[in-house]
Amino acid sequence: MPEVRPERVQEVFWGLVERYSPSGKEQEALTYLEEVCAAHGCPYGVQPVDEDRYNLVLGRPDAPLVFVGHVDTVDAWDLEDFGPAEVGGGWVRGLGAADMKGGCAALLEAYLVLREAGLGREVGLALVVGEEEEGDGAAAFLREARPGRVVIAEPTGLQLCTGHYGYVEAVLSARGRRAHASVPELGRNAAEAVLTVLHGLLQEPSLAAKDGPVLSIRHLETSNPGFAVPARAAAWVDLHVPPAYRVERVIGVVDRVVASAGGDAVTVNYPCRHEGFSLDDDDPTIRAYRSAGGRDFGVFRSHSDGNLFHAAGVPAALLGPGSLDYAHTEEERVELAEVIEAAWVFVRLARSFPGV
């Protein structure tokens, strides 16, 4: 059996983090991955997503097991300082290091090893775009393929996450009446109306319970920065919903708080909603993970392309190097040794998977 090559994992990982690839601008990272594949004589397919963007697909997209990684990141916190840097103790810092260029490097290495072992057509690998925004890369993949199972290399600390939170995006909007800031009583402050609802949501017991939905206020804005009472205001709220909860139950709570705290001044809409899920205990992915020596299981607390695969009827599990504790932060980092170990884990999982 061919073996994982740590130096190749490190080179690909470093090369990916060096290339800036926020959602919508993934071209540089994709070109680099194509160069790596070509250098190792590994064929791949290009799957259009929109006019200028595409996924890379290796192996069989409808295989019993397909690995999935997203090459996009959130926007850089500093365009002069987003690239890879060793920060001691075997850690590498950089935009996307944990979410999820470490996972993509490990996936590609695992696929190259499996291909060298003659299993290149028994599994698949989809390196997709757009996960941090609309999930349009995964949606494009699902329009053309239905694999048996997917394993997505999100940062889980190499735990197999067999449960996955649901997700609701709530957008609160308010209209008021503009007035000079020195005489606010002559206007109606839209910002105050939105803040009143946000305070109600933060105080709502069912949204603050341990092991319950996770509420995060992501963005606030008003219509005018001038010296005036704002006539419009909006807030974006993320709600991550444990698998045991129905998304509609959480939406009902938000609707109730908006009605009671906001009256007729605040409206709410939900541009994005995904149900959570849990795999059955006898799912082939779980059996293969155990057969490969895996013992650590968890629940993924964020949303991901896994929600889209689940909604399309494709059972999904998450497994990858890194941690959400560092993802999307200025100190995003991952241990290089864990990225290399992830490649081994992916190889062992595939070798143990039924039908591979």
Give, as one character, the DSSP assignment of residue 101.
Answer: I
The sign of the dihedral angle between the CA atoms of 242, 243, 249, 254 is positive
Pairwise CA distance, residues 165 & 339, whole Å: 24
Other beta carbons within 10 angstroms of residue 202's beta carbon come to: 13
pLDDT for 80: 83
Q: Which residue has the tokens 């689940």?
A: 310
Name residues whose C-beta falls within 8 Å of residue 354's C-beta, 6 or more positions apart in sequence: 64, 284, 287, 288
pLDDT for 224: 75
What strands, in cross-sheet order, belong to the sheet with 166-175?
214-222, 232-241, 166-175, 266-274
Pairwise CA distance, residues 72 & 130, whole Å: 6
Pairwise CA distance, residues 42 & 34, whole Å: 9
Of the candidates 289, 344, 13, 327, the residue with the CA atom closest to the CA atom of residue 151: 289
Residue 182 identity: S
pLDDT for 158: 97
Structural element, H or E, at residue 84 = none
Pairwise CA distance, residues 303 & 318, whole Å: 11
Of the candidates 139, 8, 129, the residue with the CA atom closest to the CA atom of residue 73: 129
The sign of the dihedral angle between the CA atoms of 48, 38, 63, 293 is negative
Residues in the chain: 356
Q: How far is CA 346 from CA 78, 223, 259, in A?
A: 33, 49, 48
Along the 356 residues of the chain, how does pLDDT read in single tens digits?
A: 789 999 999 999 999 999 999 999 999 999 999 999 999 999 999 999 998 899 999 999 999 999 999 999 999 988 888 999 999 999 999 999 999 999 999 999 999 999 999 999 999 999 999 999 999 999 999 999 999 999 999 999 999 999 999 999 999 999 999 999 999 999 999 999 999 999 999 999 999 888 899 999 999 999 876 899 999 999 999 999 999 999 999 999 999 999 999 889 999 999 999 999 999 999 999 999 999 999 999 999 999 999 999 999 999 999 999 999 999 999 999 999 999 999 999 999 999 999 88
pLDDT for 352: 97
> Is the overall model pTM greater than 0.85, yes or no?
yes
Contact 100, 322 (CB under 8 A): yes
CA dihedral 331, 300, 343, 311 (to 10 degrees): -120
Residue 149 identity: R
Structural element, H or E, at residue 118 = none
pLDDT for 139: 97
